[in-house]
Structure 1
């Protein structure tokens, strides 16, 4: 064999080896997602709750995580990352690898912040993939027992005859509780003073004491106070009555078109494998139809949300648009 032939053969082998290694690399890149999906989960999964521990978000998350841990054979660990109206926890998930091992408890705050916070450093819709809905929780307008009103119509009439004398608490500026009150104020054509608190508990305390006259709050944290007659409930914010407070009418019965609620779901960083998304969705939906979990959700005043990932994504888009309109109507924005 001549030197030229030997050189040609070496070149051919070299090219074949290069093509082979390139093909393996390409297949590896393309195949890494299905391979992960086939073995998922192989180690613990972080479930980031962008709120402090102890509230309804914690209870909901731990219920689902316990079920996922049992079903999938790896711990699903709740990790609280509060701050900046859920933005700190949300951004931590967005910046995590898209491998299914970091999940986000999504909420109404994500839908609100898209329009309420002009300085938001991310586009939630483009950065987070919807996985599954978990629950929707109605809000309720509660007032101090000494306020001489028994229903929504009387509350509106009282506000009109006592301009500037009503104070309404919320769990913070830009929350669903705050903006529900602002929407109510705009639609009813009344005025009241908004008093933000760091969470709903101190606000409810001041409503009970009479320092504040009323508050929009999740039924989860207020229904026991209503049941024990420490507060008076005037109306729920959902179109239908709440099973937790069946005797309380919908605000929309008096103020036509008024409707808000809080919702919770699960998201993952953009790029997470569809197989992983589908697996998590199936398991979460199965958890939500379990009688024990449904009963616990009912005790919290929560309405389970089932459906596939695409349906949850459509709901997220609809809620983002709903709250965009509320922000626009109320004229409220983060400064």
Structure 2
């Protein structure tokens, strides 16, 4: 009995020691630089946004937040790398839409987006727009749907590559509208936009920010935007719902930490990020790019990610990818 008691006491002291150690770690966090892993190359849109957020978190927490680019395999390399780091709050991941779609729509599962990370915050979402070349005989979304239905296989749309956001958006929209269209892949946003502006393809579904200058110049016609409200960047473009076809889609960005990161540390980073994101300067910058500011807490971020997993799981089950 005494032996059992002593063993129990030892375990209790060990647990107490770990709890005290954890509390000390939380109270002193951060006491050294933090790494924000960006699973894309430097200079791209995700990288630029990540560096702004990193700078904001750094100023709030009083420690440098260093961006580390880990591109490859459509973000799989960087995400998997981040998932393998110590869950001590000193490694964060810049998530994007591909964080979910890369694994949900694939047979390969190098990580689990639901369990391998602790959600920290959602940053923003950039709504998808449907734009066409002026030669396309459709002045609005209804006319475009009618055109594509009446002439199956006649519409070609551009993508940034297989399972890129414009590809996913186009396939999902086409499936829900009952359209038969042809995907033409390009090596990124620049070539795809050039293709639709030149008339090489009929349609593209990128973020509104990417094509707004061409819409304003008349080189492209925007038929609808896939958000709940009109974009301040293109207030004359109706939403899909306004055009009679409820459909929401966009490229989103957020921050996560490796699974097992202490909840108090997660909250501390989240609070710092939200504080920065909700400043008037950052809000205007995000909304000025046609994006919607989210700035969610960890619980709402988790809910957002789980909803995305559920959405794309259903798409996968339908055999669309």
TM-score norm. by structure 2 comes to 0.91
Report the aligned-residue RMSD: 2.3
Does residue 52 (structure 1) correspond to residue 33 (structure 2)? The answer is no
Q: In structure 2, what is the Cα distance between the partners aligned to 1:321 and 1:142?
A: 28
Does residue 299 (structure 1) correspond to residue 279 (structure 2)? The answer is no
Q: Which has the larger radius of gyration?
A: 1
SS of structure 1 residue aligned to 2:236: coil
Does residue 236 (structure 1) correspond to residue 225 (structure 2)? The answer is yes
Contact 1:51 1:82 (8 Å CA) reproduced = yes
Query: Structure 1 residues 178-187 or 106-115, which shifts more?
Result: 106-115
* 1:245–1:328 distance in 2 versus 1, CA, 3 Å: farther
In structure 2, the residue matched to 1:332 is 320
User: In the alignment, which of 142, 159, 180 is matched to residue 153 of structure 1?
Assistant: 142
In structure 2, the residue matched to 1:13 is none
Contact 1:61 1:105 (8 Å CA) reproduced = yes
Q: Point out the structure with the larger helix share.
A: 1
In structure 2, the residue matched to 1:79 is 68
Q: In structure 2, what is the Cα distance between the partners aligned to 1:223 and 1:156?
A: 22
User: In the alignment, which of 197, 206, 226 is matched to residue 217 of structure 1?
Assistant: 206
Does residue 183 (structure 1) correspond to residue 172 (structure 2)? The answer is yes
Query: Structure 1 residues 290-299 or 52-61, which shifts more?
Result: 52-61
Query: Structure 1 residues 272-281 or 254-263, which shifts more?
Result: 254-263
User: In the alignment, which of 88, 108, 126 is matched to residue 115 of structure 2?
Assistant: 126
SS of structure 2 residue aligned to 1:65: helix
Q: In structure 1, what is the Cα distance between the partners aligned to 2:218 and 2:317?
A: 36
Q: In structure 1, what is the Cα distance between the partners aligned to 2:186 and 2:72?
A: 14
Q: In structure 2, what is the Cα distance between the partners aligned to 1:244 and 1:20?
A: 64
Q: In structure 1, what is the Cα distance between the partners aligned to 2:190 and 2:103?
A: 26
Does residue 251 (structure 1) correspond to residue 240 (structure 2)? The answer is yes
Query: After superposition, what is the alpha-carbon deviation per residue over 1:223-263, rounded to whole angstroms, capped at 9, x for unaligned?
Result: 22222323221111112211211111112333533222221
Matched pairs, number: 318
How far is the alpha carbon of 1:311 from its aligned partner? Answer: 1.2
SS of structure 2 residue aligned to 1:252: coil
Contact 1:237 1:251 (8 Å CA) reproduced = yes
In structure 1, the residue matched to 2:90 is 101
SS of structure 2 residue aligned to 1:183: helix
Contact 1:179 1:326 (8 Å CA) reproduced = no
Does residue 70 (structure 1) correspond to residue 62 (structure 2)? The answer is no
Query: Structure 1 residues 127-136 or 73-82, which shifts more?
Result: 73-82
Where do 5+ consecutive residues of structure 2 fail to align? 1-5
Does residue 43 (structure 1) correspond to residue 32 (structure 2)? The answer is yes
Q: In structure 2, what is the Cα distance between the partners aligned to 1:232 and 1:32?
A: 60
* 1:221–1:215 distance in 2 versus 1, CA, 3 Å: same
Where do 5+ consecutive residues of structure 1 fail to align? 1-15
Structure 1 runs of 4+ aligned residues shifted over 6 Å read 18-24
Query: Structure 1 residues 33-42 or 125-134, which shifts more?
Result: 33-42
Contact 1:166 1:192 (8 Å CA) reproduced = yes
Contact 2:224 2:243 (8 Å CA) reproduced = no
Does residue 314 (structure 1) correspond to residue 303 (structure 2)? The answer is yes
* 1:149–1:73 distance in 2 versus 1, CA, 3 Å: same
